Chain A
């Protein structure tokens, strides 16, 4: 069992002082009241000493006892018991089975001679019920009678108040309020002397061992139980604490919170009431008295008196902590709560929790440590300061004094063990990460975040970037030096950015891309820079790096201009400036113009023409080497055609000039189409390109969104071109048939039939004819339905009119206008559908004055 030092044994009264020369004299009993110490001897003497405590700054107090008086009681009988009643200035002396009263100072018996006779032992009620300050309540156990008696003892008289019989002879007693805790010959009981109700506690054989009954606090007693148990029992007869385990031959017990002290032949043992563990053993031979007096514990042999001086709880706790006994220290500290003022306790307890936390930490018990740090509200900088160089140089932190632990730094704590060191660092990372978002971080967020940044950088931890791109309080100078040291240039750039130094940030990243400095954090720093500049509101910075990003990659670099967030695009960068800048970078320029024309749909001729021209140049550039006619259309060519078809803004004539003789018939056809020269365009398509499907397409896109007659005209034009060639051009004849059959609805069938050569069979044109007939029938029927509907509508109105005209309206003097209530003087009136009649002028005024009563809609 691990020991702690809870008490020190110091001598109070040396044997020489007491029994000088008389070997046979021995101490029978002791009483201590404040500074007054009384000793009763076996030869009938009472000694009075004055105890003086000499506190020693370091270590245990010492006591000196000065003898005041001694008095012989008059007969050679031992003084069995002494009790002081300080309020009465009386000493109760049990000698020769009788209790007498003596003056506490003079030791003289009271003149009245008041006494209680026939008492074998007695106990004072420390929780009196009478409420009279000038008396004490005493319970005595009479000799040889199965009773107990309650007395009130005054200054110079005694008064019996109650006698209660007991089932067996009582041997020992303790009192609390109305409750007596009694050791009978075979058991312990609780007896309420006022009501007479008793309650058995547990059996006990008094013949084998002397019973012990000790009041330890309000309504609670400590009893010697079977098998060397120290049993706790309340006045209700229940046990609220687990028993402590003494030796079999305990002869006395006392309590000094939170300890139970027991005395046997050879030792004084100390148990904690908090965890029932034995905490200390002091060798002490021949002791026969152990008692506590208002918190002071006294032990005595027959020859000398000693005091068990408790060590201050804080000292005990510190000792426990020094021995790494965290659990016990915390139990003791918690147990001390009620003995220490709340404010003081909280400060102390927090400190103990923190210390305990560091002990666990040093043993790498991080979970426990974290919990202790948290509940102890540790200033997290205490922990950070253990790690060399983590606190910012500007931090004002100094460790608390006295120190919470014995370690200078982590190197000392881990004794250089790199693995342990790494574990500690990982712990700090996770701990700081948790703490930084809590209230505990208030006031030193800079220290925490800077330390965290350093840890992450050193450990090459992914969270470094997360830390820097979210809200943080990393100190710039300290962090920058550290990041440079660990070559975390990309992160350093983020730090600069967070501190509004974008130029420095971008320059740093550019250096990484250029290979001037090495940092492998990201492989796509270039793209990152582009993104960064794309979102950057600082125009100068964008312009400053525009050339650099475009030189590295035109296509990607141009995103700086094309992908800018919409809201700021309008008012800041001017397209002309950008185009000017992009002149050196044709690919980028194309991308940018595409962005303007396609994405932003800028309706500006310049851009459209410029883009078309760039496409054209590119197409021509691509064609020259191959120069094989009819090669696959390239991507650029497709884009060019698309632009030419869709846009109406470019300068068509200019482009036709450029395209002349370049061998781009399709493009030329489109341009002619744009000029409305359908004949020319279709001619190119049919005769130059012989691409009939392109010709059909032309008819379709050219008429898209226009009026239907234009489309019909286009198709007829195409048909005419096909037919003009005559039957010898077999290819075109087939194309004409296909065109008719495929687009039957686009033609005016009557016109077409006149154009067609007579030689063509009906079968050949079957789909066209079916379509045409169907179309015509459909049109006719639709018209018939429309006519029918119109007729029926007309009928309905005619019917309504008939109904209204059918009845006549009779005007007389009795008929009044509903609005002005005057009669009608002329045969002219207005009638509402509900039958109401009004003057014409009234009806007119009603419509100009909407607030007047409305008789209904006018017919």
Chain B
């Protein structure tokens, strides 16, 4: 098994479309998905680097696994559903805490999925009206509705994250850069999301590698401490 060079984790409430986003990007399709059990991951070759992208289960039952999945992550994609304000609130209440285990300079992307369902959503691919791209077990089919969550809300949340992580806004990418509105169904902004992140992640991988190197101890230069005679055999 190839060892990935960096890890990106998708977090978010159930039914916001994490699996669909990932499948849209990796497999260029939008199939019906079933509720993710536990987690799954894809390996993506980006330039000469292997990046693993973990899809996590949004269900409460698997919530406890999130911390472990996030451990050492170089980026976390926090996903909500633009037609469900609660899904954004959940990110703050339940999911942000899981990212404590992520790498210390971890990047955060806030992604509002399902813009195709809203009135101002991406215009492409409106056939199949009414069969909403919800994950199986999903809610009621929704006709076009006014967008419930504005991009500004996501940006405000992004700034909250920075505060929570006590990160200086100057040292991290701006909110405008890291907040996306996507549609896994039409593919709107999906490539942009992942590829923007990959490009940002590569320098972090390089930095991490450099740090690892400097921490490596050369065991060949180790000298055993001088033995002191133990009392009993003296």
Q: Determine chain B's interface SS by DSSP, over half rule.
A: mixed
* Interface-lining segment among B17-25, B57-65, B203-211, B216-224: B57-65
A245: B residues at CB distance < 8 A? 37-38
Q: How many angstroms between the C-alpha atoms of A233 and B68 in the bound complex?
A: 8
Q: A407 contacts the other chain (Cβ, under 8 Å)?
A: no
B70–chain A nearest beta-carbon distance, Å: 9
B1: A residues at CB distance < 8 A? 240-241
Contact A237–B62 (Cβ < 8 Å): no
CB-nearest residue of chain A to B61: A227
CB-nearest residue of chain B to A229: B38
B67: A residues at CB distance < 8 A? 200, 202
Within 8 A of A (CB), among B18-53: 37-41
Q: A295 contacts the other chain (Cβ, under 8 Å)?
A: no
Q: How many angstroms between the C-alpha atoms of A203 and B63 in the bound complex?
A: 9
Q: Render A294-318 as a binary contact track against B, CB cut-off 8 A, 1 for contact.
A: 0000000000000000000000000
Q: Which of A204, A240, A242 has the most CB of B within 10 A?
A: A242
Interface Cβ pair total, 8 Å cutoff: 57
A237: B residues at CB distance < 8 A? 68, 71, 101
Contact B38–A238 (Cβ < 8 Å): no
Select which of A187, A229, A233, A276 is within 8 A of B62 by beta carbon.
A229
A367–chain B nearest beta-carbon distance, Å: 16
| Given the contacts A242-B38, A242-B41, A245-B38, A227 and B62 also touching, CB distance less than 8 Å | yes
Contact A243–B68 (Cβ < 8 Å): no
CB-nearest residue of chain B to A188: B68
Q: A225 contacts the other chain (Cβ, under 8 Å)?
A: yes
| Given the contacts A236-B72, A238-B71, A238-B72, A202 and B65 also touching, CB distance less than 8 Å | yes
CB-nearest residue of chain A to B64: A203
CB-nearest residue of chain B to A238: B71
A242: B residues at CB distance < 8 A? 38-41
Q: B69 contacts the other chain (Cβ, under 8 Å)?
A: yes
B101: A residues at CB distance < 8 A? 237
| Given the contacts A201-B68, A202-B68, A233-B68, A239 and B39 also touching, CB distance less than 8 Å | yes
Q: A709 contacts the other chain (Cβ, under 8 Å)?
A: no
A196: B residues at CB distance < 8 A? none
Within 8 A of A (CB), among B173-199: none
CB-nearest residue of chain A to B59: A227
Q: A226 contacts the other chain (Cβ, under 8 Å)?
A: yes
Q: A231 contacts the other chain (Cβ, under 8 Å)?
A: yes
A177–chain B nearest beta-carbon distance, Å: 15
A226: B residues at CB distance < 8 A? 61-62, 64-65
Q: How many angstroms between the C-alpha atoms of A229 and B37 in the bound complex?
A: 8
B3: A residues at CB distance < 8 A? 240
B61: A residues at CB distance < 8 A? 226-227
A236: B residues at CB distance < 8 A? 71-72
CB-nearest residue of chain B to A186: B64
Q: Which of B3, B65, B71, B72 has the most CB of A within 10 A?
A: B65
B142–chain A nearest beta-carbon distance, Å: 28
A219–chain B nearest beta-carbon distance, Å: 12
Q: How many angstroms between the C-alpha atoms of A21 and B71 in the bound complex?
A: 55
Q: How many angstroms between the C-alpha atoms of A236 and B65 in the bound complex?
A: 15
Q: How many angstroms between the C-alpha atoms of A237 and B39 in the bound complex?
A: 16
Q: How many angstroms between the C-alpha atoms of A185 and B222 in the bound complex?
A: 41
Q: Which of B1, B64, B69 has the most CB of A within 10 A?
A: B64
Within 8 A of A (CB), among B97-137: 101
Select which of A200, A201, A225, A240 is within 8 A of B38 by beta carbon.
A225
CB-nearest residue of chain B to A228: B37
A337–chain B nearest beta-carbon distance, Å: 10
Q: How many angstroms between the C-alpha atoms of A242 and B41 in the bound complex?
A: 6
Q: How many angstroms between the C-alpha atoms of A204 and B65 in the bound complex?
A: 10
Within 8 A of A (CB), among B65-102: 65, 67-69, 71-72, 101
Contact B72–A276 (Cβ < 8 Å): no
Q: How many angstroms between the C-alpha atoms of A201 and B39 in the bound complex?
A: 15
Q: How many angstroms between the C-alpha atoms of A187 and B3 in the bound complex?
A: 27
Contact A276–B68 (Cβ < 8 Å): no
Q: How many angstroms between the C-alpha atoms of A241 and B2 in the bound complex?
A: 11
Q: How many angstroms between the C-alpha atoms of A187 and B67 in the bound complex?
A: 12
A233: B residues at CB distance < 8 A? 68
A243: B residues at CB distance < 8 A? 37-39, 65
CB-nearest residue of chain A to B3: A240
A229: B residues at CB distance < 8 A? 37-38, 62, 65
Q: How many angstroms between the C-alpha atoms of A227 and B62 in the bound complex?
A: 7
B39: A residues at CB distance < 8 A? 239, 242-243
Q: How many angstroms between the C-alpha atoms of A243 and B62 in the bound complex?
A: 11
Q: How many angstroms between the C-alpha atoms of A204 and B64 in the bound complex?
A: 8
Contact B68–A238 (Cβ < 8 Å): yes
B169–chain A nearest beta-carbon distance, Å: 29
Q: How many angstroms between the C-alpha atoms of A241 and B65 in the bound complex?
A: 13
A185–chain B nearest beta-carbon distance, Å: 14
B59: A residues at CB distance < 8 A? 227
Within 8 A of B (CB), among A211-241: 225-227, 229, 231, 233, 236-241
Q: How many angstroms between the C-alpha atoms of A240 and B3 in the bound complex?
A: 8
Within 8 A of B (CB), among A180-204: 187, 200-204
Q: How many angstroms between the C-alpha atoms of A238 and B74 in the bound complex?
A: 13
Q: How many angstroms between the C-alpha atoms of A233 and B69 in the bound complex?
A: 10
Q: How many angstroms between the C-alpha atoms of A769 and B67 in the bound complex?
A: 115
Contact A225–B40 (Cβ < 8 Å): no
Contact B40–A231 (Cβ < 8 Å): no
Q: How many angstroms between the C-alpha atoms of A239 and B57 in the bound complex?
A: 14
Within 8 A of B (CB), among A679-737: none
Contact A231–B38 (Cβ < 8 Å): yes
Q: How many angstroms between the C-alpha atoms of A377 and B64 in the bound complex?
A: 48
Q: How many angstroms between the C-alpha atoms of A229 and B68 in the bound complex?
A: 14
B69: A residues at CB distance < 8 A? 239
B192–chain A nearest beta-carbon distance, Å: 26
Q: How many angstroms between the C-alpha atoms of A23 and B39 in the bound complex?
A: 45
Q: How many angstroms between the C-alpha atoms of A730 and B135 in the bound complex?
A: 113
Q: How many angstroms between the C-alpha atoms of A241 and B1 in the bound complex?
A: 9
A204: B residues at CB distance < 8 A? 64
Contact A202–B64 (Cβ < 8 Å): yes
Q: How many angstroms between the C-alpha atoms of A227 and B39 in the bound complex?
A: 12
Q: How many angstroms between the C-alpha atoms of A201 and B101 in the bound complex?
A: 10
Contact A227–B71 (Cβ < 8 Å): no
CB-nearest residue of chain A to B42: A242
A253–chain B nearest beta-carbon distance, Å: 15
Contact A276–B65 (Cβ < 8 Å): no
Q: How many angstroms between the C-alpha atoms of A199 and B4 in the bound complex?
A: 21
Q: How many angstroms between the C-alpha atoms of A227 and B37 in the bound complex?
A: 8
Q: How many angstroms between the C-alpha atoms of A272 and B59 in the bound complex?
A: 24
| Given the contacts A243-B39, A245-B38, A225 and B72 also touching, CB distance less than 8 Å | no
B71: A residues at CB distance < 8 A? 236-238
Q: How many angstroms between the C-alpha atoms of A115 and B39 in the bound complex?
A: 44
Q: How many angstroms between the C-alpha atoms of A225 and B38 in the bound complex?
A: 9
A231: B residues at CB distance < 8 A? 38, 65, 68
B68: A residues at CB distance < 8 A? 200-202, 231, 233, 237-239
B136–chain A nearest beta-carbon distance, Å: 15
A262–chain B nearest beta-carbon distance, Å: 14
Within 8 A of B (CB), among A239-266: 239-243, 245
B160–chain A nearest beta-carbon distance, Å: 25
Q: How many angstroms between the C-alpha atoms of A609 and B200 in the bound complex?
A: 90
A201: B residues at CB distance < 8 A? 68
Q: How many angstroms between the C-alpha atoms of A202 and B39 in the bound complex?
A: 13
Q: How many angstroms between the C-alpha atoms of A560 and B4 in the bound complex?
A: 72
CB-nearest residue of chain A to B101: A237
Q: How many angstroms between the C-alpha atoms of A814 and B65 in the bound complex?
A: 118
Give 9 closest A-B pairs by Cβ, nearest first. A243-B38, A203-B64, A229-B38, A202-B64, A242-B40, A238-B71, A202-B65, A227-B61, A245-B37
Interface residues of A (CB under 8 A from B): 187, 200-204, 225-227, 229, 231, 233, 236-243, 245, 276
- 5 A–B contacts, CB within 8 A, in A order: A200-B67, A225-B62, A226-B61, A229-B65, A240-B4
Given contacts A236-B72, A237-B71, 9 further A-B contacts (CB under 8 A): A200-B68, A203-B64, A225-B62, A226-B61, A227-B37, A227-B38, A241-B1, A242-B39, A243-B38
